[in-house]
Structure 1
C-alpha cells in the first residue's frame, strides 16, 4: 500500500478516534444546556428530512452517532493528506488544533447554514458556538496526536516517509 494511502487511512482512523472525546464535549455541553439540540442531531434530522425518511427515535440516535463518526473519519482522512504539508517544527497536536478550527469554520460558517441545518455561528447562540469551537479543538488535538502515533507505528521506527515522525 502506498504511503499516501496509509496516511489517509491513518488519518481516517485517527479521525474516528478523535470523534469520541469530541462527542463527550458535545454531550457535556448539551447536558449543561449550552446547545439545545446538538448539531450532529440537527444535521442528521435535516438529511433524513431531505430524503423523506422518518425514523423512530432509537434509530435516529443511532443514525446521528454513525453520521458523526463517519464525518469525523472523513475529516481525519483529509488530515492525512494535509499533515505532511505542515512544517515539521509545528507540534502535531497544535497543527491538529488549527485543523479542528478549520473544520469548525468550514462547517458552521459555511456548509451547515448553506444546507439550512442551523444558523451560521455568527447568528447562532453564543454558548452553542463556543461549545462547538471547544469540541472541534478537542477533535483536532486528538486527531493530530493519534495520527502522529499511528504514522510512527506504521513506519516501524521513528521515521515516516524518511522524515522524523512529529
Structure 2
C-alpha cells in the first residue's frame, strides 16, 4: 500500500507537470489571464484575498504540484496500483476539475465558477489541462505497476 501511494504520488507529480505545460500555453496565447493555483494561494495567504502577495507564484506552483501528487496517490489507491485506462484517468481528472472550479474554488470566492467565468478561455484551458493530467496519470500509474511486476 505504501508503494502504491508513493508511485501514485510520483505519477501525479509527473502528470501535474504535463498539465502545467497546457496551462502555461493557454496563458501564453492569451486564453487565460493568470494561473488559478496562484489565485488559490493568494486567497489562502494573510491579507486581502484578491491582492497580490510576495511569493504567491512559487507557492502556487508548489501547492499545485502537491495537490497533483496527492490526487495521483488517491488514483493509485483507487485503481489498486494497477493503473487504469486513459478514459478512467481523464474522467477522474475532469471530476477533480468540476469539483474545484464549479465547487470549492467559487464557494471560497477565489474565482468565479467555470460556467460563469468572464475569462472565457480559462475553463477551456483548465478542462484541457485536466484531460492532459488524467491521461498522463493513467499511463504513468500503469507503467509503474507494470515495472513492479516485470521481473
Summarize the alignment of residues 1-166 of structure 1 with structure 2, pairs less than 5 Å apart: 4-49=1-46, 55-56=53-54, 59-84=55-80, 92-124=85-117, 125-157=119-151
Q: How far apart are residue 64 of structure 1 and its match?
A: 1.4
Cα deviation code 1:1-38 (max 9, x no counterpart):
xxx22222211110000011100100010111111121
Partners of 2:4 and 2:47 lie apart in 1 by: 34
Q: Secondary structure at the match of 1:122?
A: helix
Partners of 2:123 and 2:34 lie apart in 1 by: 13
Q: Is the 8 A contact 2:97 2:126 kept in 1?
A: yes
Give structure 1 stretches of 5+ with no counterpart.
Answer: 158-166
Cα deviation code 1:69-91 (max 9, x no counterpart):
001001111101222499x9xx5
Q: How far apart are residue 96 of structure 1 and its match?
A: 0.8
Q: Which runs of 4+ in 1 moved over 3 A?
A: 49-52
Partners of 2:22 and 2:102 lie apart in 1 by: 20
Count of residues in correspondence between the two structures: 148
Point out the structure with max Rg over C-alpha.
1
Cα 1:62–1:85 change in 2 (3 A) is closer
Q: Secondary structure at the match of 2:44?
A: helix
Tell me how large the CA RMSD over aligned residues is: 2.3
Give structure 2 stretches of 5+ with no counterpart.
Answer: none
The TM-score normalised by the length of structure 1 is 0.80
